Amino acid sequence: MSTDTETVKSTNMNDMEQMFKAGVHFGYAKSRRHPSAKPYIFGAKNRMEIFDLEKVKTLLDEAKDYVRNLGQEGKTILFVTGKNEAKTAMIESAEKLEMPYVAGRWIGGTLTNFSAIRSRVDLLEDLLDKKAKGELTKYTKKERLLIDRDIEKLLRFFGGIRAMKKKPDAFLVIDSKREFIAIEEAKKSNVPIVALLGSDCDSNKVDYPIFGNDSNISSIKYFVDAITEAYLEGKKMAVVK
């Protein structure tokens, strides 16, 4: 029994060391702190608040348990971020899991008016299909240029959700304060939310909050990789069954 306890302690310490190296522990200035973040603050350094990594790990473990179940059930997660620091990690992980993503501006109505958004995606698919088949050659050079611009715009806004035929089963969000419109739509649509929150975010607005540094590339990547791995673990568990 003692050996098992020591193993758990060692694993926990290793996880916290990795979080520390990734800079997960940095929050914002105390003046920006949301009240819901207070229990997770350890102290401050150079006017920047520092998260308690033990408590952060507990939140992360709870989120991973939930995501592991999603993976086991083959559920769909929509990856959502508008932060430049998060785009690469989110897109790479979404594509690795073959999940939809929004890596840019959230288009209002993506969930609450899903049928209208889906019609725009269908238009994109139709134009891409016609272009691939050479069916756009019947148009003038100017007309093709305008069509290409439409395709480029549609890809920018809807390229990441082309395969999303129905509303997702869950959200993965970086910075809930920034993505407040997406959060509101998820709540209205009863879609559970897993989110990385800076110390300025309200944890009451999401189902599985994880306080941590939401503005640093390495911190965000650590968080996104952990959630991605949890989903893959769930998929493996389903295969074994």
Domain boundaries in the chain? 34-108+167-240, 114-160
**Taking residues 132-153, what's their average pLDDT?**
92
pLDDT per residue as tens digits for the range 178-229? 999 999 999 999 999 999 999 999 999 999 999 999 999 999 999 999 999 9
Average pLDDT, the chain: 92
Topology at the third CATH level for domain 114-160: Helix Hairpins (1.10.287)
Give percent above pLDDT 70 in the chain: 94
Q: Round to whole Å and give the CA distance between 141 and 131.
A: 13
Q: Round to whole Å and give the CA distance between 174 and 131.
A: 35
Q: What contacts 136, CB < 8 A, 6 or more positions away?
A: 130, 144, 147
Residue 8 has pLDDT above 70, yes or no: no
Q: What contacts 111, CB < 8 A, 6 or more positions away?
A: 167, 182, 185, 186, 188, 189, 191
Phi then psi dihedrals of residue 46, to 5 deg: 50, 45
Residue 3 has pLDDT above 60, yes or no: no
Look at residue 16 in the predicted model and tell me its pLDDT.
86
Instruction: Yes or no: say if 182 and 161 are a contact pair by the CB < 8 Å rule.
Output: no
What are residue 103's DSSP bridge partners? 81
CA pseudo-torsion sign 52, 57, 62, 66: positive
CA pseudo-torsion sign 126, 129, 131, 137: negative
Give percent above pLDDT 90 in the chain: 88
Question: Model-level pTM?
Answer: 0.90
Phi then psi dihedrals of residue 155, to 5 deg: -65, -40
Q: Round to whole Å and give the CA distance between 240 and 159.
A: 34
Q: In this predicted structure, which of 8-12, 17-21, 56-60 has the lowest mean pLDDT? A: 8-12
pLDDT per residue as tens digits for the range 27-76? 999 999 999 999 999 999 888 999 999 999 999 999 999 999 999 999 99
Look at residue 70 in the predicted model and tell me its pLDDT.
98
Look at residue 103 in the predicted model and tell me its pLDDT.
95
Residue 110 has pLDDT above 70, yes or no: yes
Q: What contacts 6, CB < 8 A, 6 or more positions away?
A: none
Task: Write down the CATH number for the domain with range 34-108+167-240.
Answer: 3.40.50.10490
Look at residue 229 in the predicted model and tell me its pLDDT.
97
Residue 6 has pLDDT above 80, yes or no: no
Phi then psi dihedrals of residue 211, to 5 deg: -75, 140
Local structure of 47: helix, strand or coil? coil
